[in-house]
Structure 1
């Protein structure tokens, strides 16, 4: 977290950005819960007013008009590198009846996880306590299981470690990414 003074001398705090690849979908119990999630995403700058995904304040290159299927109360998150979206992913599941978000990052880490709603979140009056289950994936163990080996940053040639991380993340997303409706998705992770 960082703190700074505004022009008026008021102390203002914030946190550093966290970039993560996020992909998945969430289906909601009612239009009210879908609308609340869309409002949160618009307020955070991840969606524009036409429900198109934005990355770093720019509309993404996703070749679709919207990532929302209002008839089925479905929000689709096309695979992309999003700034700070992984930080609020759990809150998007309030009122969810189904869904999965697959998340990975190499932003100061080498982490991946799969987030799903708990049954209690679909209750008529869901709470914000314990609304998802998060399955952390040990990417080094995953790499060993799929014969991708394990590299160490200190023992790797320049660029070799990053290339290995990308190879592992591509395999991780091939394994865990959900099938998404083709009319609501963007390009594949690769």
Structure 2
């Protein structure tokens, strides 16, 4: 047994490993304590319940998946930015297969909202970066958007397509990029 108290980050690193190996539903306090080589009671000092541990693990996995810098790089076109997001997130999706769909079913109903909010937080960061990239793209047709088809609508559509491709473990997003090009240029 580890007599030195482990850190919260060390516990979350073990949680990420377990989620990667066995999925989120396999995460439990006893396994995490054993893997950290600490007493189960020590783990409860950091996380008062399994739901608290799972929520923290979900947040940690999202951070690992979306470890990229979400700011738009100067000179990128919107399709370049979308491809960059796809390529940046793809390794995390490979590391945590089925994470997008599995994490929300592991909670009691009151805890699902917290897990969903965590997921939406990361998606919102992606949307903000995509909106900035779209607004900065000097090649976009001046008539590409109007009151019935806004830039925000287009970013929402693009993000949905991007996430769908990632969840399907597609190796590229070339069809989505072509749809984007044909729509806005």
Same-fold status (TM-score > 0.5): no
TM-score range, shorter chain: under 0.3
Look at both structures and tell me which one has the larger radius of gyration over its CA atoms.
Answer: 2
What is the TM-score when the length of structure 2 is the normalising length?
0.24
Structure with greater helix percent:
2
* Larger fraction in strand: 1
